[in-house]
Amino acid sequence: MAKQVKRGLNALLANIEDVKTDVKTEDKIYSVALEKVMPNPDQPRKSFNEESLIELSRSIREHGIIQPLVVRRGEDDKYIIIAGERRYRASLLAGLTVIPVIIKEYDEMKTKEISLIENLQREDLNAIEEGEAIRELMDCYHLTQEDIAQKLSKARSSIANTLRLLSLTNEVKELVKSGKVSAGHARALLAVPDPLVQIEMAGKVITEGWSVRETEKQVRYYLKPETKPAQISEKVRQKMSVEMKEFVNGMTQVFATKVRLVGNESKGRICIDYYSNEDLQHIYDMISALKK
């Protein structure tokens, strides 16, 4: 029984988009024919997860639309979606003919602003879509980064960093849009001026599973090759391994306890085990004697 209640609750919650869109409790809710509702052509979010939409459509089919869409009046007795395109798409899949809406008297600028805020608050936009939407707002209405930062309640530096991602090559931007390359990886790749190298590194992020830190390191090596550690040949590596084993064996005999090396040929640490106060005193005496 508990599992059934949980599934029902999850289905209801999947239908709710907790977004601040200036909707007030006294706003009147209208029932509008679905065919009269149109997606916003300037919607910043371009991609919708098909599986997620199917799940939402099942919830809507069973429970109806819990939270009305927010729309504005368009031409020819149509309504343009301000907030709720995901619910709209799921309603189409569910076969609804009438949906609940709240009608707002917003101009185009306010509509774009609310659409962007809705998606940002729900973290539905990828970093490139977010940057493109911000750029469009700035270009269309002559807004500064500071203006956008205030409207979105974000730091101006955050807005600037998002906009910088738009200077990536188109191929890398598509990888970010598809979720194959994260925004963190993309920010690291911004420092690579050669488009072909940028694309190559983005490919390695995917195929070799580079972390953001590893990506930053590889970019640093590319920009300053002299900082990259020299490659050790297999012959030298094997010789060093033999020498390190002999070193460990020698220390084990000197300290009469277990000694371990943790790390690799270039860096690491030496671990000397002791099992009693007498062992520790013996190690201390040996080191003191070596210091003399």
End-to-end CA distance of the chain: 76
Burial class (CB in 10 A: 0-12, 13-18, 19+), 131: buried
Same domain, 198 and 284: no
57 near 88, Cβ under 8 Å? no
Domain end, chosen from 106, 132, 165, is at: 106
121 near 99, Cβ under 8 Å? no
Per-residue model confidence (pLDDT) at position 236: 60
Question: 3-class DSSP state for residue 45?
Answer: coil
Has 246 been annotated as catalytic? no
Domain extent at residue 49: 2-106
Domain end, chosen from 106, 134, 150, is at: 106
Name the DSSP class of 179.
T
pLDDT above 60 (res 13): no
Dump pLDDT digits (tens) for 191-246.
Answer: 999 999 999 999 999 999 999 999 999 999 999 998 887 665 666 667 667 777 88
Phi, then psi, of 190 in degrees rounded to 5: -60, -30
Same domain, 241 and 279: yes
Q: Which of 113, 142, 115 is CA-nearest to residue 46? A: 115
Question: 3-class DSSP state for residue 59?
Answer: helix
Same domain, 209 and 277: no
Report which of residues 188 and 135 the model is more confident about. Answer: 188
Per-residue model confidence (pLDDT) at position 18: 39
Same domain, 8 and 54: yes
Domain end, chosen from 60, 89, 106, is at: 106
Structural domain contains residue 168: no
Helical packing angle, 212-223 and 195-207, nearest 10°: 150
Largest distance between two CA atoms of the chain: 97
Please, which pLDDT band fits residue 110 given cuts at 50, 70 and 90?
A: confident
| Number of separate domains in the chain | 3
- Where are the extended beta strands (E) located within 91-231? 98-103
Structural domain contains residue 132: no
Structural domain contains residue 223: yes
Same domain, 218 and 242: no
For residue 167, the number of C-alpha atoms closer than 13 Å in the C-beta half-sphere is: 13
pLDDT above 60 (res 5): no
Which one is catalytic: 17, 85, 129, 130?
A: 85
Same domain, 201 and 240: no
